[in-house]
Amino acid sequence: MKYSTRPLFALSLIFAAHAVAAPMGPDLDDVRRNDPLLDFDTPVTVWDEALPLGNGTLGALVWGEGRPLRISLDRTDLWDLRPVPEYYSDEYGYQLMQQWEKEGRIDDLKRVYDNPYHRPAPTKIPAGRIELTLPEGAVFEGTRLDALPPAAQVTLTDTRVRVWVHATDPVGLIEIKGATPDAIHLQAPAFGGKEEGPAEAAIVMGELAELGYPPPVESHGDTWKAYTQEGWGGFRFAVYLAWKSVDGGWRGAWSVATNREGHDPLELAKAQVERALSGDYKKLAQSHAAWWDAYWQKSLVRIPDARIERQWYLDTYKFGAASRKGAPPITLQGPWTADNGKIPPWKGDYHHDLNTELSYWPAYSGNRLEEGQSFVDWLWDTRGACREWTQRFFDLPGMAVPMTADLNNNQIGGWRQYTHSATTACWLAHHFYLHYQYGQDEVFLKTRAYPYLRDCAVFIEAVTAKKDEKGKRTLPLSSSPEINDNKPDAWFKGITNYDLALMRWLLQATAELAEKAGAPDDATHWKAVLAEFPEWSLAEDGGLLVAPNYPLEFSHRHFSHLMAIHPLGLIDGSHGAAEEGIIAASLAHLDRLGTKSWTGYSFSWLASMAARAHDGEKAAQALGIFAEAFVLRNSFHCNGDQSGKGYSNYTYRPFTLEGNFAYASGLQEMLLQSHTGVIEVFPAIPDSWKDVAFSTLRAQGAFLVSAERDASGEQQVRIVAEKAGTCRVRSWKTGKVLTYALDTGEAVGLVTTGDDAEVRVLTGG
């Protein structure tokens, strides 16, 4: 890397926010270097290894060798929303739950709280499948997933099939060159025919047929097929597929619509398909490509580890396909619900004890706030259901949120210690806080972030009103996901570090945002409530315990007791040697316990924790193991170890997405950190990573950061202020914090050479 002797950037220059990446770091050539994202020379024969396509609302999985070629269909708001009757009974209430726990009435507790989850519904449901039988002479040669623009391609002898879901329109397209299908089938899911029965286990939720829907109403013509499916409670959705011959080949389009959009979903789906087939196809393809070009350019990375880099591109692609402003947020499987005749693993629901939260981590430093807004918008829009549940179950003011939830954020049950935890909303509130900190939108602060945190804080103040003999606030029931599973001792005698971290963080953040929102009296109140909480429960070596006098004594998948370190950042090395010691002891304890009971997301999460400890070697190792052992060949996180190398005793393969997205965030945490209010560039990269770069990752304070470091040790950094503010950046050579006051659009450029004792500021002013 060589530099001009003149300043690279001038503070007097005003740059458009969308153009800040151009001078430095990776560009679309780095996407092309990773394109195709997937490339197989053998056919995909199972749905969960298929090529994934999506736009936040519609999803598709492409698989098969051509006889048939399968396209599994999904739409993210397809749900069976039948309520859980036990949760509206006289036996349902926080006070009675406490009494039953005290009396040891475990069977009654399981009957009311745990067992309803074993029923088939409520649940996410799939949309069906398209099957195309290609000519017999067309022999499979390969299949791939392209990134620019996203499309699944299947190549056969003299025939090529291209499938894509439009980036913004609710329509999918199929192009076949060199042949036309011998047969075209549109297959509805097998929703009816069996009596409702108990599920096989908490993971495998039984057959779709147990939902007991009536048969679909099918219709067809010479160039189209369709069906309308009635679900529970008057819900209906329709799938429409149509096609035409094009230049010796074939072109098809499909759409899925529901009666939540309009009275006649079949007509809605038909209109979308006809618009796509009869309109300007070239313009449709161009708008699809343009959206994805802009998406990729929001942030890019380049690192010398090809496996880790490729997994980041795959996971960043899936995030764009799964989350979109205006669409429902990411469930366990996002827009790729199981296509195997079964209810999806864990009902494909919203799990708020880790899964939804981890899924949205990459939105913030990844500079994809618009895609991430899907989550906070949904949380805001479903506050009414959460407040009603808070009154019905807790009988307390403010707002709590159920841990397992349906499309409307209603409680659907499961292990009671977590589904009915008092602190779930605190973790969800963290996303409102992050969305504000990274975007600095003052309207969002005053109308969304602070009100949401305040509602949660009102509840926490009420539920912890009882104090212990030391005058500290207590929780009537405290747990730590998922320590001791759903055994009676999963409730702890004192406040767990998990619950304590969430409550302490919430009150601290609520006070902070109250001051920013112009409510100083509120800030004073929340600080006073915070002061009434106990301190951390620590082991003799200084590490974090699960609860008072309760160490974690076995390998465990969920790092719930370490929430204060990451993601909440309450305990951080920047606070001094004492907290550095807590982090070091806590991570050392994880090392001693080993990874035998970890799942894939554990390794993704560890990468971020290690990065916070500035341990790039440990972080890279964790990401490498995840990419090697805990993904299927299409990159889907499959929970269990598929490598046979013994990283974990879990070897099952239920597919969920949070491990993928936590992975992307873990790499970003290695490249850029700003949670302390100081921007740190390359804070946790291995010594072996010599040539590293990223473009327009986002720092708290709404700063867009691009950086490069080469093998000689020379480092170049560019920081652009999306909003006016004070930029504080740490010199990686000296540790000094450099401070710049930047107006909106102003930039600062920094260069450090290998021989420099200080960072040289290359801006004027």
Question: Residue range 720-739: average pLDDT?
Answer: 92
142 is a domain residue: yes
Q: What is the CATH number of the domain that holds 753?
A: 2.60.40.1180
What's the confidence (pLDDT) of residue 203?
A: 62
Checking if the pLDDT of 545 tops 90, the result is yes
Q: Which residue, of 297, 318, 339, is where some domain finishes?
A: 297
451 is a domain residue: no
Checking if the pLDDT of 670 tops 90, the result is yes
694 is a domain residue: yes
Checking if the pLDDT of 19 tops 80, the result is no
- Tell me which amino acid residue 356 is: T
- Tell me which amino acid residue 486 is: N
Give residue 2's pLDDT band: very low, low, confident or very high (50, 70, 90): very low
What's the confidence (pLDDT) of residue 202?
A: 54
Give per-residue pLDDT as tens, 360-381: 999 999 999 999 999 999 999 9
What's the confidence (pLDDT) of residue 733?
A: 80
Give per-residue pLDDT as tens, 401-425: 999 999 999 999 999 999 999 999 9
Checking if the pLDDT of 445 tops 90, the result is yes
196 is a domain residue: yes
What's the confidence (pLDDT) of residue 731?
A: 87
Question: Residue range 632-645: average pLDDT?
Answer: 97
Q: Which residue, of 297, 329, 357, is where some domain finishes?
A: 297
Give residue 216's pLDDT band: very low, low, confident or very high (50, 70, 90): very high
Decide if 299 contacts 367 (C-beta within 8 A).
Answer: yes
CA atoms within 13 A on the CB side of 126: 28
Decide if 692 contacts 1 (C-beta within 8 A).
Answer: no
Question: What is the domain count for the chain?
Answer: 2
- Identify the CA nearest to 669 among candidates 734, 589, 605, 751: 605
Question: Residue range 42-71: average pLDDT?
Answer: 97
Checking if the pLDDT of 282 tops 90, the result is yes
What's the confidence (pLDDT) of residue 760?
A: 55
What's the confidence (pLDDT) of residue 458?
A: 98
For the stretch 283-287, contacts whose Cβ atoms lie closer than 8 Å and that sit 24 or more positions apart, written own/partner, are: 284/166, 284/169, 284/173, 285/149, 287/166, 287/167, 287/168
176 is a domain residue: yes
Q: What is the CATH number of the domain that holds 218?
A: 2.70.98.50
The H or E element spanning position 692 is strand 692-699
Q: Which residue, of 270, 297, 324, is where some domain finishes?
A: 297
112 is a domain residue: no
CA atoms within 13 A on the CB side of 683: 27
Decide if 165 contacts 172 (C-beta within 8 A).
Answer: yes
Give per-residue pLDDT as tens, 158-198: 999 999 999 999 999 999 999 999 999 999 999 987 655 55
417 is a domain residue: no
Q: Which domain holds residue 257?
A: 39-81+122-297
Checking if the pLDDT of 16 tops 70, the result is no
Decide if 463 contacts 475 (C-beta within 8 A).
Answer: yes
- Identify the CA nearest to 355 among candidates 605, 698, 569: 605
- Identify the CA nearest to 422 among candidates 383, 461, 448, 452: 461
What's the confidence (pLDDT) of residue 48?
A: 97
Residues of the chain with pLDDT > 70: what percent?
A: 94
60 is a domain residue: yes
What separation in angstroms does the CA of 118 have from each of 210, 233, 415? 12, 20, 11
- Identify the CA nearest to 27 among candidates 382, 298, 314: 298
Give residue 755's pLDDT band: very low, low, confident or very high (50, 70, 90): low
Token pair of 93 as six digits: 């209430």
Decide if 523 contacts 512 (C-beta within 8 A).
Answer: yes
CA distance 323 to 18: 21
CA atoms within 13 A on the CB side of 246: 13
CA distance 278 to 274: 6
Give residue 764's pLDDT band: very low, low, confident or very high (50, 70, 90): very low
Range with lowest mean pLDDT among 134-138, 273-277, 616-620, 719-723: 134-138
